Each structure stands twice: as structure tokens, then as C-alpha cells.
Amino acid sequence: MKLAFSTLGVPGLPLPDVLSLATAHGYHGVELRAHPEEPVRADLTPAERAGAAALFRSAGVEVVGLAGYARVAAAGEDGPVLAEIRELLRLAHDLGAPFVRVFPGAGADLPRAEADAIAARRLGAAAEDAAALGVRILLETHDSHRTGADAIRILGPVGHRHVGALWDVLHTWLGGEQPADSHAALAPHLGYVQVKDVASAGDTTPLPLGAGALPLAECVDVLTRRDWDGWLCWEYEKRWYEEAAPLAGLLGDGREYLARLLGEAA
């Protein structure tokens, strides 16, 4: 498996500095948060996109994916959601990123079957755009659909190889799903895996990997025993928790922790 980290842990940091952190600490890739407050945004010009892609190539670091914020199961018209996804797909293509992350995002008042159908319809509509650009859309296990069992209610009906899953191990754990069950549900669709650590279900302030309650060793073991060879991406949610320690000082130990897990599971 290859190791990456998300720029959610270093909000607003210029790309040259992000790449310096990656190379200094031995990470193979970076997940880029695609947001107006970040260096990577949908309004980048063609020249800016080409320049960003060149920075990654020269550093020998891969863009794992773009973490977007389209909410595919939310109530409302399809048009704005599809436009947001297609914009992200074009940006991912221009940056050489193989994946785009979307959220479910169904409201609490939306019946489950209706939310599933809305999301499947939108992802199905965007799938051919993704295929034409050589990018996969990944539905993250998150919010209204936090477990693997929830996600496949959407992904199964879509049935397109350019629509898959992003396994956020925090949310499947919060949903009470065992790692083996999450993997069994998501394996046919899996794009990559987000790892993180927190103290408890009641305190999700990000912690250094291995310092909290998440079953990270079990998750890695499940992946290794199934011969999965994709990305493990550390999503340290510093953007939402100002009191959390800076990610830059944790990256080296985090990589070593994941490397140990991979060695122990091999």
C-alpha cells in the first residue's frame, strides 16, 4: 500500500510547502482539499492547473484525489449537484488526480429510499463524464451513509466502474460496523481508504495515529489479507479543530506507525 495525507490537516498551505512536507516525511501522495479557501479550487486557470500538476510531477508525489463537497443524496434539483461534480472531474483530470470525493449528505427528514435513489441517479448521470475524463467518483462513507452497508445501497444500483467508494474508517466505526464487514461491503467498489484517530465517539478531535480508539490495526490487517494494494490516506481534520496539534510535527511518526502496521500485517 502507498501512504498519503490530506491537506485538510494543513489548511491553506501553499502547494510547494505541502510537497516539502510529503517528501521530507516519506509520503507517496497527497489528497487535495478542493475548496475556495485552498490553493486548489475550481476557478484555477488552465495555466494554474498545469503549474500545479507540474509541481507534483517534479516532486515525485502523486495527487491521490480531490476532496470535494458535492452532496449527492441531498434534496433539491439535480442540476447544481451535477454541475459541481463535473467541475471537480475536470479539475481532477487537469491535475492528474484519479479520484474525486463526494459526500452523501442526505437530510434527516429525507426518507432513506428516496435519498438512496437521488444519489444513485446523480452518480449514474455523472459516471460517463467521469469515464470520459479518466477519473473515478468516490462516495465517502460519511454523514447520512456512514457505513459500508449504507454506501452499497447507492453504489449497487449505479453499477458503473467509474463510480466507487472511499472508506473513511472513522465513520464506519461510528456507525458500529466492524472493519471486516465494511471491507466486505466496499471491496468491489473501493478507491482508497482514509485513516485517522480520535479519543472516542464523543470526542472526535484528531489525534496522532495510534493514540486513540480507532481499530486501525484491524483495518490494515483486513486490507492486507485481501491483497488490497491501494492508498492509505491520513485525513487529520485540523481545519475543524483549532486546538488539535499541528499536523506537520506528526507526519513522520504517523508514517512510521502505518509502516509498522503494514509490516506486521504482511
Q: Which amino acid makes up residue 115?
A: A
CA distance 196 to 46: 34
Q: What's the confidence (pLDDT) of residue 108? A: 86
Nearest of 106, 91, 99 to residue 194 by alpha carbon: 99
Residue 244 has pLDDT above 90, yes or no: yes
Q: What's the confidence (pLDDT) of residue 232? A: 97
Averaged pLDDT of the chain: 96
Q: What's the confidence (pLDDT) of residue 234? A: 98
Segment 100-118 shows an average pLDDT of 95
**Helix/strand/coil (H/E/C) assignment for every residue in 181-250:** HHHHHHHHHEEEEEECCCCECCECCCCCCCCCCCCHHHHHHHHHHCCCCCEEEECCCHHHCCCCCCHHHC
All three cell numbers of 234: 491520513
- The pTM assigned to this predicted structure is 0.96
Residue 266 has pLDDT above 60, yes or no: no
Q: Which residues pair with 71 in a beta bridge?
A: 103
Predicted confidence (pLDDT) per residue in 183-237, tens digit: 999 999 999 999 999 999 999 999 999 999 999 999 999 999 988 999 999 999 9
CA torsion, points 14, 143, 72, 127, in degrees to nearest 10? 70
Residue that has been written with the C-alpha cell 465513520 in this structure? 171
170 sits in which H/E element: helix 169-174
In a 10 Å sphere around its CB, with 0-12 CB exposed, 13-18 middle and 19+ buried, how is residue 205 labelled? middle
Predicted confidence (pLDDT) per residue in 159-188, tens digit: 999 999 999 999 999 999 999 999 999 999
Residue 109 has pLDDT above 90, yes or no: no
CA distance 249 to 80: 39
Q: What's the confidence (pLDDT) of residue 265? A: 58
Angle at CA 179, nearest 5°, toward 150 and 227? 110
CATH of domain 2-265: 3.20.20.150
Predicted confidence (pLDDT) per residue in 70-104, tens digit: 999 999 999 999 999 999 999 999 999 999 999 99
Nearest of 74, 175, 60, 82 to residue 137 by alpha carbon: 82
Contacts 24+ apart (CB under 8 A), 44-51: 44/91, 44/94, 46/94, 49/91, 49/94, 49/95, 50/94
Segment 113-137 shows an average pLDDT of 98
